[in-house]
Structure 1
Amino acid sequence: MTVEENLSVLEQDLAGKNAVVTGASRGIGRAIALHLAMRGASVIGTCSSAGSLHHLETLEQLVTRTFTAAGLQPPLIFGIAADVTSDETPELVARTVVERFDSKLNILVNNAAYYEFRPMGRLDAAHVNRILSGNITALVILMDTLYRQNLFQPDSRVVNVSSDTAKMTNLPFPGMLIFSATKCAMESLTRAWADTLGHNASSLGTTVNSLSVGATATDAMKNSPPALQDIAEKVIRNNKAELGVMGRAEDIANVAGLLVSKRAGWVTGSVIAASGGATKIL
């Protein structure tokens, strides 16, 4: 039985909060969006194209069905097609927050990423620029747009989904070198944003952290070596993480959930490992 087949409403500590989760149609992003919604948060989830919106529609139906069965009013779940490679995406997300959330944003999870792996010797300017645009430019402009429009509320929570490859001396795939570099940039930006948003008058007390994610059993594993694919299939089949090897999307969502909680207000500007001990940050 999968996690989504055995749902129950969680503690409603996020009731009344508004969240944006980018890349929320599948995998880790979907698991995080579901976790926040089950704790009562209304969620705007983004996906790469209109063809993926049905994934967010099924998420909304799942949440509504579960809350209704519990006799509770379900939170809002709303999907928008907002590709990270599009220059229009930051303004589209901000406009949706204004229209759907009355200009009030409490939680932002920057999960969406652009993947395109090529090893050294096969790089060109167009390839590098796509990765930089999808993983750095889009992130920076989204944060700047939300900040400039004063959409972050006091004591908000921002979680940037990074990768343990940002700290690896030996990458699992040679073609990840540029992608991994963008995650290093994300972690550096996290520290700067923590200072800026935490002390800004309109977003006072806001925390910004990076979540360093290890190998996770999602559909992204289909492009991995056969050995990793076999582990991912086992984790999904048994619905159980292998400590130090590979986790479930729900395991990542649970850690993200810790960082967005009210009690996490003293953690900011940090990189938190969510890898089951596969990568250790000291």
Structure 2
Amino acid sequence: MTPFDLTGKLAVVTGARRGIGRAMARALAEAGADVIGVSATLEESGSEVEKDVLAAGRTFEAIRADFADPDAVRALGTALAGRDRPVDILVNNAGTIRRAPATEHPDTDWDTVLQVNLSAQFTLTRAVGAAMVARGRGKIVFTASLLSFQGGITVPGYTAAKHGIAGLTKALANEWAAHGVNVNAIAPGYIATDNTQALQDDPARSKAILERIPAGRWGGPDDLAGATVFLASDAAAYVHGIVLPVDGGWLGR
């Protein structure tokens, strides 16, 4: 046993079907946790994330939930909070992005991004977190962003939501730390995923991004594994309300 050992824990990872969420679920399973994966399009069985978790010797359950639907998110929170086996770790990773200049940014895009990336995160965390507070223990990890610190370009809704996640992390930590619940966030840097494909495909933007990263490369989803396990484990018992950048040194430039 080490402080990073998650044996016997139950982790919920939203946005688990691919990319960062899949890597987070795999890392938690390899550290010993059983996993419930949540995504709007997650296969009932046979998904790649399920294969990852089972290969680590842990159990996996798939749940479909559309984070753009407030009623679906409320129902998910009620169901998770009411389980006989309590949720020990909640990783709020589900998200979406819409790109358009601010002068042309549709209300529908703004509303969808704020719902999926911020409002749904609060709704789900309120339900699961209340059960953790009642038990006196639990770990909550949000996926923030470099745009929790910066403004970005042509993503006003995403930036607003991710700034909101940073604030929500601190607000919940202030209320729940004394009840044994750790609330923190990870801020991924430029990670090669579907969400950043438009940037990767733009030669000028990709070159500018790489020139700014001291590590000299785009990150991969597995670069988030260690931070996820750390914040979900007893090794982070006295860590509350932080937004931890995993960015190849971007913010240090």
Taking structure 2 as the reference length, the TM-score comes to: 0.86
1:39 corresponds to 2:31: yes
In 2, Cα distance between the equivalents of 1:148 and 1:258?
22
Aligned equivalents of 1:242, 1:42: Cα separation in 2: 35
Consecutive unaligned residues in structure 2, runs of 5 or more: 208-212
| Paired letter, 1:214 | G
**Is the 8 Å Cα contact of residues 132 and 138 (structure 2) preserved in structure 1?**
no
Quote how far apart the aligned CAs of 1:150 are.
5.0
Note if contact 1:15-1:40 (Cα within 8 Å) is conserved in structure 2. Answer: yes
CA contact (8 A) 1:31 1:249 kept: yes
Equivalent pair of 2:76/2:124 in contact (CA under 8 Å): no
| 1:178 corresponds to | 157
Pick one of 182, 205, 229 that aligns with 1:207.
182
Q: 2:64 aligns with which of 50, 70, 81?
A: 81
**Do the aligned residues in 1 keep the contact of 2:172 with 2:183 (CA within 8 Å)?**
yes
**1:222 pairs with 2:197:** yes
Contact persistence 1:197–1:207 (CA under 8 A): yes
Matched residues in 1 for 2:3 and 2:189: separation? 27
Query: Per the alignment, in what secondary structure is the counterpart of residue 74 of structure 2?
Result: helix
Q: Which ranges in structure 1 are unaligned for 5 or more consecutive residues?
A: 1-9, 68-73, 232-240
Q: 1:15 aligns with which of 7, 14, 24?
A: 7
Cα separation, partners in 2 of 1:191 and 1:230, compared to 1, 3 Å: closer
What is residue 176 of structure 2 aligned with on the other side? 197
Secondary structure at the counterpart of residue 279 of structure 1: helix
SS in 1 for 2:184: strand
Secondary structure of the residue aligned to 2:62 is: strand
Match of 2:167 among 188, 193, 212: 188
- Structure 1 residue 258: deviation in Å? 1.4
Deviations, residues 141-172 of structure 1 (Å, cap 9, x unaligned) = 11112234557743311111111022225x2x
Match of 1:259 in 2: 231
2:99–2:154: 8 Å Cα contact kept in structure 1?
Answer: yes
Q: Which residue of 1 aligns with 2:48?
A: 58
Aligned to 1:162: 144
| 1:244–1:277 CA contact under 8 A, matched in 2 | no
Could you tell me how far apart the structure 2 residues matched to 1:17 and 1:179 are? 32
Report how far residue 228 of structure 1 moved. Answer: 7.9
Q: Report how many aligned residue pairs link the two structures.
A: 246
Q: Please report the RMSD computed on the Cα atoms of aligned residues, expressed in angstroms.
A: 2.8
SS of the residue 1:121 aligns to = helix
Q: Tell me the amino acid that sits aligned with residue 180 of structure 2.
A: G
Distance 1:56 1:194 in 2: 36
Which residue in the other structure is 2:210 paired with? Answer: none
Shift of the 212–48 alpha-carbon distance from structure 1 to 2, 3 Å rule, reads same
1:214-233 CA distance string (max 9 Å, x none): 001223332224338978xx
Distance 1:190 1:96, change over 3 A: closer
Question: Aligned to 1:147, what secondary structure does the other structure show?
Answer: helix
| Pair 1:277 & 2:242 matched | no
